[in-house]
Amino acid sequence: MLCLDIVMIIVRPHNFEQVFVYFLQLQALTSTGTKKGELFLADINAQLKNKNITTDVKVDTSSNLFTTVTIDEPAPGLKAILNFRVPDQRSGKLEVQYLHEHAGISSSIGLTANPIVNFSGVLGNTTLAFGSDVSFDTKEGAFTKCNFGASFTNADLIASLTLNDKGDTLSASYYHTVSPLTNTAVGAEVTHGFTTNENTITVGTQHLLDPLTTVKARVNNFGKASALLQHEWRPKSLITVSTEVDTKSIDKSAKFGLALVLKP
């Protein structure tokens, strides 16, 4: 699937962060603070390790206590994670993960009287894979999420088929690398909604103008066209200019976006 990046500008004036890390045998302590105008937010994090058990505890200025207990490899490929927050009595959740060379499974359940049970899994290899993502609300006695998908991958293409929204939306996508040297690729996605009986067709492309500059564009059958130009002006620092226009409503103004990412 070829997706056009969504860019945002995030401005955080007068913010500061201080991190202090201490290692006392098996214990790590971290303190962070952020000031936004007259508002000061801070938290203290502690991490304790005992063999294959890691406990992370965080206390913030709102008197919330966040705790995560992770047990690595109680059995080969298995991991158990327990999360809860005090004083929220409904925040507890137990998650079990299993990772195998050709399979990955994750299941979680809320620690409440009527929990929501989640299950997701993937089975396959580097060429062909099948997966599902299901959630069941025991209080309502109904599935709140039920998604299935399959994908095929080789050296220069990725094709996928997904069934989402409890079987109401069917999507097929295709991504093909035309030239690895210039990272030139084309892609298309077709989505059908069974309830609305509506089809959405999106096609797009990307290309490297030079080793530091990328251009991407896409258009759908509703006339929405968008494009972006992204330039890496220094290592790991990007500037992106994007635009979107509705070709079927020329009287509407085009949308423009600007994003700047700075990394040391």
pLDDT tens-digit map of 200-237: 999 999 999 999 999 999 999 999 999 999 999 988 88
Assigned token pair, 26: 């098996």
Stretch 139-158: mean pLDDT:
94
Between CA 247 and CA 227 the distance in angstroms is 13
SS3 34: strand
Q: What integer pLDDT is reported at residue 27 of this predicted model?
A: 53
CB proximity list for 206: less than 8 A, separation 6 or greater: 2, 183, 184, 185, 214, 215, 216, 217
- More confident: 223 or 31: 223
pLDDT digits 0-9 by tens, 86-138? 888 788 999 999 999 999 999 999 999 899 999 999 999 999 999 999 999 99
Tokens of 94: 């137990």
Q: What's CA 54's distance to the chain center, in Å?
A: 24
Residues in the chain, how many? 264
User: Residues of 129-168 as b/e, b for ≥16 C-beta within 10 angstroms?
Assistant: bebebbbbeeeeeeeebbbebebebeeeebebebbbeeee
| CA terminus-to-terminus distance, the chain | 31
Sign of the torsion angle spanned by Cα atoms 189, 190, 196, 198: positive
Residue 146 near residue 136 (C-beta atoms within 8 A): no
Q: Report in angstroms the alpha-carbon separations of 259 from 2, 11, 29, 160, 234.
A: 20, 11, 34, 30, 15
Q: Please state whether the peptide bond connecting residue 87 to the residue before it is cis, i.e. omega within 30 degrees of 0.
A: yes
CB 143 within 8 A of CB 160: no
CA–CA separation, 134 and 196 (whole Å): 23
Lowest mean pLDDT among 4-18, 42-56, 121-135, 182-196: 4-18
C-alpha to C-alpha distance for 139 and 172, rounded to whole angstroms: 34
Is pLDDT above 50 for 63?
Answer: yes
pLDDT tens per residue, range 21-30: 333 334 566 7
What's the CA angle centered on 234, arms 230 and 259, to 5 degrees?
A: 40
